[in-house]
Structure formats: structure tokens, C-alpha cells
Amino acid sequence: MTDNQSEAQERREVVRIRGLNKRYNKKSDWAVTDVSFTCYEGEIVGLLGHNGAGKSTTLKCLEGMIPYEQGEINIAGYDIKKNPEEAKAQMGFVTDNHATFIKMTGMQYINFMADVYEVPTDVRVKRLGELEEVFQLGDAIENLISSYSHGMRQKICMMGSLIHHPKLWILDEPMTGLDPRTMRAVQEFMHSYAAEGNTIIFSSHALGTVAKLCDRVVLIRKGRQVDELNVKKIYEENPEFDFEEYFLKNEQKN
């Protein structure tokens, strides 16, 4: 057990993944093998790995989007298999393909998500105002999502995923397609959201973003969890630590 883990044990567990194994069909190789990690409240955890490493698969299993063969996933005390509705109510997520109902307007989509997560009317109005300050969709929120650019779809997906102020916020490649201003705003928002005691898990290729944002990083290679790093501690001990170099070296190991 690392120092960080024992330190974090005092805080409440929000995500607990144990021995996760997933393959897409019986004949194929395992997409994820024996992945286990825990995320605590107030933490930002990054999933790092090459293309096809198993980051998105792990997140999709966590979100309850796809089934998994072995293991256990627990979100804020609820098992995703045994109590799926309760577990899913604790989280908000943004997928890598930004799939959304493009025949709805942005506002209708927010309303849809608020209805699904049973957000009271006064709360949804207040939260939308707060989210608008971060994502700044402006009048475009009244437009059909089909007319949105890639970045705008990303923003509306993020806004929809946060309307119920989830305990756990899951993002798959969140910075792709965002303009620099929004990227900065999202990063600041992620820090403040975690500071409120919420947990954020995200996958990324952007090592700089991961280094800047994460408290911890779970490194996945070829479906296997190969390392777990305490980013904060590493930077405290060595401010010159080259994350990119470390990642590339790790990739070369078989």
C-alpha cells in the first residue's frame, strides 16, 4: 500500500474496482485484465495508456455501458451490477464520441438529463447558470445540437453530465476538441469540483494535462494495469520530473 493510499483511506471511497476482466467476445483477447484501483472523494485520477490500452473499456465498464466477465465495480457504496440505478445516479459521464441526441436543442438535452437524474426545477435552473459560466455556450444552447461544432457538442455533453452535481464525474478524452479558453476553464472547474469533495476520473493521451490535473495516475498497457503514480508526491519530490519520458520508457517495456 502506498503512502498516498493510506492517507486517502481516511477519506471515503467513491470508486472501487477489483480484478476487472473484460473481453468483447469469447474468441477475442482480453481487452482489460485484472485492473484494480480505488478513487477517493476529492481526488482527480487519470487513466493513462496508449491507443487501445483499455482505458475507454475500463471507463465503459465503470459507467455500466458494457458488461464485464470478472471483477467488482463499486460506486459510492453501490455495486454497478447489483444496484445499477443507484450506482449510476451517483455519476455523470462524458463519452469519447460525444454521443448525444442531436435532434434536441441544447436546452432540451439539459432538461432531459435533469429529468433522468431527477433534479428539482429550482436546482436545475441554478446549476445551469453555474455551468454556463464555465462552458459559455451562450444563445447556442437554444439551437439544435445537430448544428453544433465538435467542441460545442463536447460542452453540452459536459453540462448535461453535471446537471445533477454527481459525486463521480467520468470523462473519456475530455480535452479533445475544446478551444484553449474552454480547456483552461474546464481544468479550473475540475480542480474546484474535486475540491468540493467530488471525484473525477478521466482518460487522456495528453501527458501535460494529466500531469497538471491529476492527483494520481493509473497506467494501463495492453489491458493490464502496470503502475499507479502519486503525481502530487512525485512533483513535490522532483519538480523537474519528465512525465513524457517516464511514459515513453514505460511503453517500451513489454
Partner 1 sequence: MSKRTERGKYGQINMAKVRALLRKDGQEKRSAFKTGNFDIVGFILKVAIACTIVALFVVFFGRFTGVYLAVKTDGVTNVTARTTELLTILYSAVILGMVIGGIGRIGRELFTADDMKLYAAMPLNAKTLFVAKLINIYLSQLIIAFVAVTTINLTFATQTRADVAFYLLTPVVCILLPLITIAISAVLVMPFQMIKRFLRERYIVTFILVTAIFGALFWVYSIVLNGVKQLLLGDSIRWFFSERVMTAIRSVCGALYPARWFAEIIGGEDRVFGWLYLALLIAACTAISLLVIKSILVRALQSRNEGYSRSVIKTKSLKKIDGKFGALLKKEFLMIFRTPSYMFSYLSVAVIMPLMVYFCMDVSVSLIENLIGVNCNLELALFLTILFGTLTNVFCATNISRDGQMFYTIKALPLNYKTVFFSKIVFCMIVTAVSQIASAVLLAATGSVSFLNGVFLAVIGMLFSFVNIAVATRYDFNHASFSTEDDGEIKESSGTVSVVIIIGMVMSFAIGGMVFILKAFSQLNHTGLGYMTYLITAGLAITSVALSVFYLLFRLDDRYYEFTGGGGI
Interacting residues with partner 1 (CB under 8 A): 24, 60, 63-67, 81, 84-86, 88-89, 93, 95, 97, 99-105, 107-108, 110-112, 114-118, 120-121, 124-125, 128, 139-140, 142-144, 146-147, 149
User: At closest approach, how far in Å is the CB of 233 from partner 1?
Assistant: 33
| Residue 79 near residue 87 (C-beta atoms within 8 A) | yes
- Minimum distance between the CB of residue 139 and partner 1, rounded to whole angstroms? 7
Min dist. Cβ of residue 209 to partner 1 (A): 24
Nearer CB in complex with partner 1: 165/233: 165
Name residues whose C-beta falls within 8 Å of residue 101's C-beta, 6 or more positions apart in sequence: 109, 112, 145
CB of 10 or CB of 118, closer to partner 1? 118
* CA–CA gap between residue 64 and residue 75 (Å, rounded): 11
Residues pairing with 218 in the sheet: 47, 228
72 Cβ partners below 8 Å, 6+ apart?
Answer: 16, 17, 18, 19, 20, 79
List the grid coordinates of 174: 475530455
Looking at residue 105, the DSSP 8-state letter turns out to be B
Our CB check for partner 1 shows the closer of 100 and 203 to be 100
**Distance in Å, CB of 22 to partner 1, minimum:** 10
Alpha carbon 181 to chain centroid distance? 20
Nearer to partner 1, 45 or 59 (CB): 59
Q: Which is nearer to partner 1, 132 or 228 (CB)?
A: 132
3-state secondary structure of 119: coil
Cα–Cα distance for residue pair 198/40, rounded to 1 Å: 8
Min dist. Cβ of residue 142 to partner 1 (A): 5
Closest listed residue to residue 4, CA positions, set 224, 247, 237, 242 = 237
Q: Minimal distance in Å, beta carbon 64 to partner 1?
A: 5
Nearer to partner 1, 33 or 100 (CB): 100
Which CB sits closer to partner 1, 162 or 229?
A: 162
DSSP designation for 16: E
- Can you tell me the distance from the alpha carbon of 174 to that of 59, in angstroms, rounded to the nearest whole number? 13
Name residue 215's amino acid: D
The residue type found at 77 is G
Q: Measured from the CB of residue 66, what is the shortest distance to partner 1 in angstroms? A: 6
